[in-house]
């Protein structure tokens, strides 16, 4: 297509298809949760992580106390909840371990829904194709974990091409060589064209990644060659900014996307085509609802008999989204509609006294602890 196409995942993916890929692993992941402790089934909660539960891996807003209230005295889950984050870069199992440690409760990998979790759905399309994974953390390990067989990190990919980053010798902050591809990867990269690039999390080196991605995208997947058909490009999310340890917001994946797109569109006859996932896309909330249903049925039915039919027949009266970013968390919950109820905290991006003007939440509170307190009171749970 010659038109400028910016495809939102919500327009191109079937939410049911998207969700079904999670189900096979969920029952197994939740089998360690107790069946003795029957969680409430009329409501569920989705928590954003950055700016709500933690900030730069430090708990905030009384999150450890708040999450302990979602478990019984024996440490068994009693309130169905998931984490719904646009963050990423690590496998769900690793995030679950980190969150368990951070909050002092047992978090299952199935409860961790990251922005790039839906990339699993694309395994059938790119399973044996050469793909490049971009972002902080372990982007290639995440994609391998999902089932992609020929994935190369952009660190290793760039290291296969001598002088591809003319600024590399000037990057004195990198004391060691970045990327150390083995001979098999070097052979693969030099002979095969990249079929898709996946940006899972924030780029660590914008200048190199924009250069190398433009090389890949404008040449049909083989840097240094003539202009060719653009390989697929996927972004885990499109957040412009996020709240980290610094007092004001930091540039996010959306800012990187704007930079890449602006430059690509100046050097290429056709505008950049890409697909973005993550909140506030409505399918993300639909999927969270399905995972929460599965969570309820798994725990209720001793995990062994949990199945799609049980999950499909369950209806929540209310699903609470607790987030700090009006444009992402609150906008998403509002777009998703019933049964979502949005709660905005003041521990992250939003710092206003009242409510957000453009995307007002159903409730504004100071902290996640207040949010949990409100939900438990409203649902008559002590
Ligand atoms: Mg956040």
What is the rounded CA–CA span in Å between residue 225 and residue 194? 13
Q: Are residues 206 and 326 in the same domain?
A: no
E-strand ranges in the chain read 6-8, 43-47, 54-55, 58-59, 81-84, 112-113, 131-134, 151-153, 196-199, 232-235, 241-242, 250-251, 274-276, 318-323, 340-344, 363-364
Q: Are residues 236 and 265 in the same domain?
A: yes
pLDDT tens, residue by residue, 288-306: 999 999 888 766 654 443 4
Ligand 1 mean position, distance from CA 220 (Å): 35
Q: Are residues 288 and 272 in the same domain?
A: no
Ligand 1 mean position, distance from CA 101 (Å): 19
What CATH number is attached to the domain comprising 78?
Answer: 3.40.50.1000
Q: Are residues 160 and 73 in the same domain?
A: no
Q: Are residues 155 and 251 in the same domain?
A: yes
89 — phi, psi (to 5°)? 115, -15
Range of the domain at 321: 43-115+279-302+312-379
Count of domains forming the chain: 2
Ligand 1 mean position, distance from CA 175 (Å): 32
Is residue 20 in some structural domain? no
Q: Are residues 259 and 141 in the same domain?
A: yes
Ligand 1 mean position, distance from CA 332 (Å): 12
Q: Are residues 128 and 212 in the same domain?
A: yes
Q: Are residues 264 and 297 in the same domain?
A: no
Ligand 1 mean position, distance from CA 244 (Å): 9
Q: Are residues 133 and 238 in the same domain?
A: yes
Q: Are residues 74 and 125 in the same domain?
A: no
Its pTM stands at 0.83
Ligand 1 mean position, distance from CA 324 (Å): 5
Ligand 1 mean position, distance from CA 326 (Å): 9
Split at pLDDT 50, 70, 90, the class of 41 is: confident
Q: What is the mean pLDDT of residues 154-169?
A: 94
**Mean pLDDT rounded to a whole number for the chain:** 88
The helix (H) or strand (E) run that includes residue 7 is strand 6-8
Is residue 364 in some structural domain? yes
Ligand 1 mean position, distance from CA 301 (Å): 33
Is residue 335 in some structural domain? yes
Ligand 1 mean position, distance from CA 240 (Å): 12
Is residue 236 in some structural domain? yes
Q: Are residues 164 and 258 in the same domain?
A: yes
Per-residue model confidence (pLDDT) at position 299: 66
């Amino acid at each position: 297509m010659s038109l400028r196409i910016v495809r939102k995942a919500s327009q191109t993916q079937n939410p049911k298809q998207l969700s079904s890929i999670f189900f096979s692993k969920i029952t197994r992941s939740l089998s360690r949760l107790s069946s003795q402790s029957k969680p409430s089934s009329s409501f569920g909660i989705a928590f954003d992580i950055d700016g709500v539960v933690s900030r730069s891996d430090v708990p905030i807003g009384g999150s450890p106390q708040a999450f302990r209230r979602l478990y019984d005295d024996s440490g068994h889950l009693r309130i169905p909840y998931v984490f719904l984050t646009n963050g990423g870069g690590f496998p769900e199992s690793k995030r679950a371990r980190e969150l368990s440690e951070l909050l002092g409760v047992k978090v299952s990998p199935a409860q961790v829904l990251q922005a790039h979790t839906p990339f699993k759905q694309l395994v059938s399309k790119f399973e044996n194709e050469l793909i490049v994974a971009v972002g902080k953390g372990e982007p290639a390990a995440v994609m391998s974990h999902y089932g992609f067989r020929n994935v190369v990190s952009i660190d290793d990919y760039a290291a296969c091409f001598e002088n591809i980053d003319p600024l590399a010798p000037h990057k004195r902050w990198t004391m060691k060589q970045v990327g150390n591809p083995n001979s098999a990867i070097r052979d693969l990269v030099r002979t095969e064209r990249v079929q898709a690039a996946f940006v899972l999390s924030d780029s660590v080196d914008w200048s190199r990644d924009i250069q190398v991605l433009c090389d890949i995208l404008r040449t049909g997947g083989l840097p240094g060659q003539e202009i060719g058909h653009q390989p697929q490009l996927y972004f885990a999310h499109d957040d412009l900014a996020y709240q980290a340890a610094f007092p004001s917001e930091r540039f996010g994946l959306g800012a990187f996307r704007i930079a890449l797109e602006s430059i690509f569109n100046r050097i290429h006859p056709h505008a950049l085509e890409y697909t973005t996932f993550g909140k506030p896309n409505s399918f993300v909330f639909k999927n969270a609802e399905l995972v929460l249903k599965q969570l309820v049925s798994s725990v209720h039915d001793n995990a062994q008999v949990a199945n799609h039919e049980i999950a499909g027949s369950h209806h929540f009266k209310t699903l609470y989204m607790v987030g700090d970013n009006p444009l992402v968390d609150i906008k998403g919950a509002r777009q998703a509609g019933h049964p979502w109820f949005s709660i905005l905290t003041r521990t992250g991006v939003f710092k206003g006294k009242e409510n957000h003007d453009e995307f007002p939440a159903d409730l504004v509170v100071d902290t996640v602890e207040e949010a949990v307190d409100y939900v438990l009171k409203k649902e008559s749970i002590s």
